[in-house]
Chain A
Amino acid sequence: DSGVTQTPKHLITATGQRVTLRCSPRSGDLSVYWYQQSLDQGLQFLIHYYNGEERAKGNILERFSAQQFPDLHSELNLSSLELGDSALYFCASSVAIGTNTIYFGEGSWLTVV
């Protein structure tokens, strides 16, 4: 158990809908990262928040957004969902940035039908 908690574990929704994935980082971790893993792509970095501030963006679509709240939990919002958004979404956390070890949650399986 990495200490990173993600909910929900599984989610099935229809095209055009909006979902929110939630992440609680390890106790004391200020950095939260979001990754997407689909069948045909590897693990793709989406976005990084540190202590409530956005620090880096990767291959995140404009239909997706994220935020980190004062209690350090984070949410990834996915809107206007398409079939191609079906994927595993991982949240990860680390104490800070730089070379602090990053720990991953078990992921949220999103299926868009």
Chain B
Amino acid sequence: DAKTTQPTSMDCAEGRAANLPCNHSTISGNEYVYWYRQIHSQGPQYIIHGLKNNETNEMASLIITEDRKSSTLILPHATLRDTAVYYCIVRAYSGGGADGLTFGKGTHLIIQP
């Protein structure tokens, strides 16, 4: 699976949009981009994933650049409960993926009141 690079930490004001960047310049054509978050010592929580099109669900939006070398997770109206470590993970399409998810260090997002 391709390696990802994320900022170590970020701050965002409550009520504002939180934009979390991820660089995955070595991503392959068959690799998806997944985002998870982990609120202190809880189980990682799935947020969203995509291949090349932008995706939106009730939690967030995922914007993937046209060359697929980077992406941005957007939390539209951040709340204090969104304070967590956010992990950007690239994962191969079927045929691989037996290892599940490879977690890096993620971005510690702190929502400020």
Binding site for B on A (CB under 8 A): 2, 4, 33, 35, 42-43, 45, 48, 50, 55-56, 58, 88, 90, 92, 94, 97-99, 101-107
Specify the chain A residue showing the minimal Cβ separation from B41: A88
**Residue contact B44 to A90, C-beta cutoff 8 Å:** yes
Among A2, A99, A101, A103, which residue has its beta carbon within 8 angstroms of that of B94?
A99
**Residue contact B42 to A56, C-beta cutoff 8 Å:** no
Does B105 make an interface contact (CB < 8 A)?
yes
Given A2-B45, A107-B41, check contact A42 B105 (CB 8 Å). yes
**Residue contact B49 to A101, C-beta cutoff 8 Å:** yes
Chain B, range 75-98, C-beta contacts under 8 Å to A: 91-98
Kindly name the residue among B32, B49, B100, B105 whose own CB sees the greatest number of chain A CB atoms within 10 A: B100
**Residue contact B98 to A48, C-beta cutoff 8 Å:** yes
A90-B97 Cα distance, complex, nearest whole Å? 18
A-B contact count (CB 8 A): 67
Identify whether the interface residues of B are mostly helix, strand, loop, or mixed.
Answer: loop
Number of interface residues of B (CB under 8 A): 26
Kindly name the residue among B38, B49, B99 whose own CB sees the greatest number of chain A CB atoms within 10 A: B99
Specify the chain A residue showing the minimal Cβ separation from B101: A102
Binding site for A on B (CB under 8 A): 32, 34, 38, 41-46, 49, 91-106
**Residue contact A45 to B43, C-beta cutoff 8 Å:** no
Contacts of A105 in B (CB 8 A): 43
A2-B44 Cα distance, complex, nearest whole Å? 10
Contacts of B101 in A (CB 8 A): 33, 45, 92, 102
